Amino acid sequence: MTTLPVIRLRPKTKPQAIRHGFPWVFADEVVTDRRTRAIKPGSFAVLEDPERKPMALVTVNPESKIIGRVMDANPDAQIDGNWLRARLSRALAMRERLYDAPFYRLVHAEADGLPGLIVDRFGDAAVMQPNAAWADGMAGDIAEALRDVTGVSTVILNGQGRTRGLEGLDERMEVIAGTAPDAPVKVPMNGAVYMADLMGGQKTGLFYDQRPNHAFAQRLASGRVLDVFSHVGGFGLAMLAAGADHATLIDGSDAALALARDGASEMGVDGRLETIQQDAFAALEALGAEGRQFDVVICDPPAFAPSKPALEAGLRAYERVAKLAAPLVAPGGYLGLCSCSHAADLTSFRSASARGIGRGGRRGQLIHTGQAGPDHPTLPQLAETGYLKALFFRLDG
């Protein structure tokens, strides 16, 4: 049996947080001697407390600020195919209880006990994002386990994005198992149909996290709706499916809007859809100058505050979105504002949104606060797993 390396918490570091479920060990919390710095990124090690008592099995990356990620509370655990299949089986069992079709986030990283690993399922295909060194190194094993547990035939590795850079990982995109779909995948959700480009779309091809917020927006759907930062039509198509008369989608990506139009065609509502390919801020300003108004306006921008250093500028951007969007809401209509920024907590985002609405000359009631769906579980000890916020306001005249 191979003896694993050891990393140890510094003498003044309290181990209680990790014992109570916090999954990360930061570089300034451990003794980083020559042996620790020599550990190959993605290797496994035993984490010891300051008294040299084993605490957990971790994966180590000396090149990352998060030097250790807890893999298993049992220091003697063996991370192999059987271990992966057990974790994936547990994740799958919950999703199968929650959803009647195989379209969901199957693995939500730390919250599912698979640190740094994202897996979204699209029927017979799965798209994985290995954002930690261990997962990148074991991508083949993960793909094999995914096929064994779920029965999918295709596994795609999407190794793109900011998080991989923080881990010192290169970008890559490849088919690990099976054959890539030769056309976008049709994804049924909330009565709408979305088209997911698994090889060329953003992230894994579709954002499942907004599913419950799409459903809430459907309860408000009537008349004319505006979906800003629409991607492939998330909110707009959902509200068309619920009976809205007309939807206008705004996004900077023509490819994403083309997928939205294809989805609308599949639903038979393409005659009620308008798409505008333009910078969202410029489009909001132009619509305001024209005096356009809608019964429902939804703004779901990218993460303006992906890290703490970007928080102040990010909150100003969210405030600006609210300021520009509020005048576009007809009296008595509804405004939905969303944030997927890890660094912006709910209170800060809500305050920025309220300020923006006020600066836009409107007042209103906050009627609903939403979050990601249950296929994106939150690890209570790790705030970053609960990143998505959705605020719905009813605006006065």
Indicate which residues carry an active-site annotation: 340
CB 366 within 8 A of CB 337: no
Q: Residue 334: which H helix or E strand, with range?
A: strand 329-339
Helices (H), the chain: 16-19, 34-37, 81-98, 133-137, 139-150, 162-166, 211-220, 234-241, 254-267, 280-290, 311-325, 346-359
Record the tokens describing residue 351, joined without a space: 């305050």
Distance CA 8, CA 4 (A): 13
Q: Which amino acid is at 62?
A: P
CB 385 within 8 A of CB 109: yes
Q: Which residues contact 148 (CB under 8 A, 6 or more apart)?
A: 85
Q: Which residues pair with 44 in a beta bridge?
A: 59
Task: Report strand pairing: 117-122 vs 192-196.
Answer: unpaired
- How does DSSP classify residue 126? E
- How does DSSP classify residue 170? P
Q: Which residues pair with 200 in a beta bridge?
A: none
Checking 37-43 for CB contacts under 8 A at 24+ apart, the result is 37/62, 38/62, 39/5, 39/7, 41/133, 41/167, 41/168, 42/132, 42/133, 42/134, 42/135, 42/136, 42/137, 42/138, 43/5, 43/134
CB 127 within 8 A of CB 119: yes
Q: Which amino acid is at 10?
A: R
CB 95 within 8 A of CB 73: no
Record the tokens describing residue 33, joined without a space: 């001697």
Distances (CA, A) of 365 to 173, 227, 392: 45, 20, 8
